Chain A
Amino acid sequence: MSNRKKYWTNKIIRTIITAIGVTLIAFLILHLTPGDPARIMLGSYASEENLEAVREKYNLNEPLYIQYWAWISSLAKGDLGTSIRYNRSVNTLIKDRIGPTLVLTLTGLIISVVLGVVMGILAALKRNSWLDYLTTVQAIFWISIPSFWLGILFLYIFGLQLRWVPIAGMVSYTSVILPALSLGLRQEAWFARPMRAEMLEVLNQEYIRAAKAKGLKYYIVVTKHALRNALIPIITMLALRLPWIIGGSVVIEVVFSWGGIGSLLVNSVKARDYPVVQAILLLISIAVVLANLFADIIYTWVDPRIRTEG
């Protein structure tokens, strides 16, 4: 087997094992957490007979391995199960809510990348100037503020005091601005710092000096020669930050009444709606696994040495 083939077989087997591990963990975390979905559903005042009926209906009395097997087998058929709380197919629930989440996370991602890259470049070009320090300070600032607090702060300033945008919910085109900013600014810092470092390194390379010596205009040197090379690690970074953005969107969705996967997850955890929580955890994990795979692919494409060493 060639090294290349071996590398990818390994990679794929590992991804599959990770995926199975993820389903198991998602399942166990929930079922081992105290709290009986039947009791939460019927309230503290429910009679034992009614509780039993609900447990019966959702197979909550079966041993864990049987419940797990039942879940995995229907999963294999693409069926995520039926929600206990909503009494609806989980596939439908997720399908209905994935749109808003995609809009939010994509916008947040774009904000973070664009701002991060611009900040990073500026900081590198004006190294040790006030601008450089400013980008450092703002990066620390955004990273330090918890996202729900940032969200509420934004709502208070731009929604309540200035009335520039609607407070919450998805009521107009401008609704996405605040949640996406709350999400994006926090991640921006993760791009700004590596971008700065990368740019500095590239700017010191021989070929940049050569380009400058050729008499090319400075901005062309920066955009055509330096930026192009400095951006490559950022693309990998992007793949690695994706899970954080998805995770962050859970909190942001709750603060901004954003009817997406995140608020569905929070509701479902509260209601111990096992099938929904499992399905969402699984989806998020798959996104993470895929993002990592994607990052690997880019690495190997950029740097062929990794293929044999990995």
Chain B
Amino acid sequence: MKKTISLLLTLSLLIGLMVFSVVATAQDNDTVHIAIQTEPSKLNPITYQDTETDFVLSQICDPLVEVSTEGSYTAEGAIIEDYRIEEDGKVYVFEIREGIKFHNGENLTGEDVKFTYESLKDKELASPHRSYYEGIEDIVLVDEYTVKVILGDTNVTFLTNARLRNHVLPKDYIEEVGWDGYEKHPIGSGPYEFIEQDPGQRIVLKKFEDFWGENAKIDNLIFRFYPETTSAVMALQTKEIDFIAEMPAEVFEDLKSKEDVGLKFGTYNKFEDHRVCFNKRKDSIFSDVRLRKAVAYAINRYELIELTRGDMAVPAAGRVPSFHPATAPKANAYEENLKKAQELMAEAGYPDGFKTKIFAPSGYRERVLEVQQIQQQLARINIDLEVVTLEWGTYLDVTADGQAPMFRERWSAGVPSPYSFVENWHSESGWNAIFGTYENDEVDALIDLIKVTTDQEERWQLYRTVQNLAMDEVACYPLYWPVIGEAYNDEITIPEDVWNVFKRPIYNVDKWHF
């Protein structure tokens, strides 16, 4: 028996040595370690769908068009030298910088841009992002470094999702190695090049020396996967990792309240809103606008913010966040008014209250706590609200099917256009039904108009009008706009100008330094 045990011990030690000799690394000042929650699904800009992949790809690839700190389109930091819009917004002409090299040494040309757009449109590849590119009628290579994208209709929001944010792909390389080959070793023209991926553990990137712009200041970038936030936070405190992507607000507040943790802190406003959606289909109790209003008047969003986010949120009025010019400060925010709520209920024929349900995905602690709070708030006007929490996949099914009278939603808009905040109110939008349906001809017409209005100021005004109208009918009840807090290793400096939602620290690791 003793022999067996010692044999087992030796064996496990040996296996251990083999595994760990591969992954053992030294901590030093030329490597930054970033914790992401799960392993990226596949490093393929066409077919990926998770934010983790996005974080990694944005270091490897460059955007076709970049967004400035203020939220306007710019060539700075992008692979274009310039771009212009012709024929009333139907034609986009991109002039590509010469001399940009992919990580395999090949030149980036218009051919690659065209190839990328075509891949995104490709039916076989079935990109989940394909709908953004459906408006493209033709892609013309004018000369080696000029690409013309022709749209079927004017669409001022086209670039928001179709600016190839981390997409510009090497055509020759992909044709040579295939998509599977690309996923195993992705190549781009970005500041970091892919070195290796230890499955289930980490992805290693290295500074690309021939980068066309300013070289990254930190030599190595390692993404490590931490499914459990508690562990990641402890690793941050021991400086095993330097940065946690998407740190939960409560963790940030907690770390900030501690002393001598060896961390620095930064915040920025997200382009995202949190809200309560109503099922407004005919068979739902909330097809009655008076009951939606009653609920809105009974919810106190300040209490919810206090409960789950502390200082890390701005109370919302309308959908577009307050830092953006398209925000609608005059939209009805239904400040708490229980008397009015009760009057509305009586008017709608429910003077003694009614029973209904609110749904939240169980994996999101904030949302669950908030709906429980809403349950208590609505009890004050005799609404007997049942809280239903479901696992994410089930939650998506149930809410999209119209089985949830109320549900707690979140919308993250692609930068810089606020269009998607209002687009789901359009009766023909694919998301209209998912968020409980909403129909208003005037709103439809205004949203159509936004799409073709090229004058910026005029467009912002249209956004405001749409939000005011929809809020009058409580198309949904906006709760707050979140503020993101990041705690990171205090030996690292993250420059001031990336602390906004248009740049974001995580997308600009090449500008960090020790």
Chain A residues in the interface with B (C-beta under 8 A): 33-37, 39-50, 53-54, 57, 85-88, 93, 96-97, 99-100, 102-103, 106-107, 110, 113-114, 152, 155-156, 159-160, 163, 166-173, 175-176, 227-228, 231, 254-257, 259-260, 263-264, 266-267, 270-272
Contact = CB atoms under 8 A, between A and B. Distances in A.
A36 B401 CA distance: 12
B311 to A, nearest CB: 25
Nearest to A267: B38
Closest 7 CB pairs of A and B: A35-B393, A259-B200, A96-B199, A259-B201, A167-B235, A168-B231, A47-B430
Interface of B: 1, 5, 8-9, 11-12, 15-20, 23-25, 38-39, 41-42, 44, 47, 49, 123, 126, 128, 130-131, 180, 183, 198-202, 224-228, 230-232, 234-235, 237-238, 240, 363, 391-394, 396-400, 430-431, 434
Contacts of A100: 19, 200-201
Secondary structure call for the A interface: helix
23 contacts: A34-B393, A35-B391, A40-B396, A41-B49, A44-B396, A46-B430, A53-B126, A87-B42, A96-B199, A100-B200, A103-B19, A107-B12, A110-B9, A155-B230, A168-B234, A169-B226, A170-B20, A171-B24, A172-B24, A173-B24, A176-B16, A254-B228, A263-B227
Contacts of B25: 171
A255 B41 contact: no
A281 to B, nearest CB: 17
Contacts of B198: 259
A264 B1 CA distance: 35
A159 B227 contact: no
A50 B397 contact: no
B122 to A, nearest CB: 11
Contacts of A163: 238
B471 to A, nearest CB: 22
A87 B392 CA distance: 21
Best-surrounded residue of A36, A37, A259 (most CB of chain B within 10 A): A259
Contacts of A57: 126
A47 B428 CA distance: 12
Nearest to A101: B200
A114 B2 CA distance: 10
A257 B225 contact: yes
A272 B394 CA distance: 10
A43 B49 CA distance: 8
B17 to A, nearest CB: 7
A93 B199 contact: yes
Nearest to A36: B397
Given A168-B234, A169-B226, A46 B393 contact: no
Contact of B431 (A45, A53, A270, A271): A45
B400 A155 contact: no
Given A41-B128, A257-B232, A260-B200, 6 more contacts: A33-B394, A34-B397, A37-B393, A41-B49, A166-B238, A266-B227
B226 A39 contact: no
A100 B23 CA distance: 11
B11 A167 contact: no
Contact of B1 (A48, A86, A173, A231): A231
A96 B23 CA distance: 13
A269 B38 CA distance: 13
Contact of B44 (A41, A46, A87): A87
B264 to A, nearest CB: 19
Contact of A87 (B128, B131, B183, B434): B183
B8 A267 contact: no
Nearest to A107: B12
Contact of A272 (B232, B393, B398): B393
B130 A50 contact: yes
Nearest to B2: A223
Nearest to A100: B19
B431 A259 contact: no
Nearest to B127: A50
Best-surrounded residue of A54, A170, A263 (most CB of chain B within 10 A): A170
A171 B24 CA distance: 5
B201 A88 contact: no
B131 A96 contact: no
B1 A256 contact: no
A41 to B, nearest CB: 6
A155 B233 CA distance: 11
B396 A36 contact: yes
B434 A167 contact: no
B228 A255 contact: yes
B508 to A, nearest CB: 25
A39 B397 contact: yes
Contacts of B8: 106, 110
B506 to A, nearest CB: 19
Best-surrounded residue of A37, A169, A228, A266 (most CB of chain B within 10 A): A169
Best-surrounded residue of B15, B41, B198, B202 (most CB of chain A within 10 A): B41
Contacts of B391: 35
A257 B226 contact: yes
Contact of B234 (A36, A113, A167): A167
A50 B128 contact: yes
Contact of A88 (B42, B225, B237): B42
A171 B227 CA distance: 16
A39 B47 CA distance: 14
Contacts of A35: 391-394, 396-397
Given A39-B400, A93-B199, A257 B234 contact: no
Given A160-B238, A168-B235, A39 B396 contact: yes
Contacts of A113: 5
A114 B20 contact: no
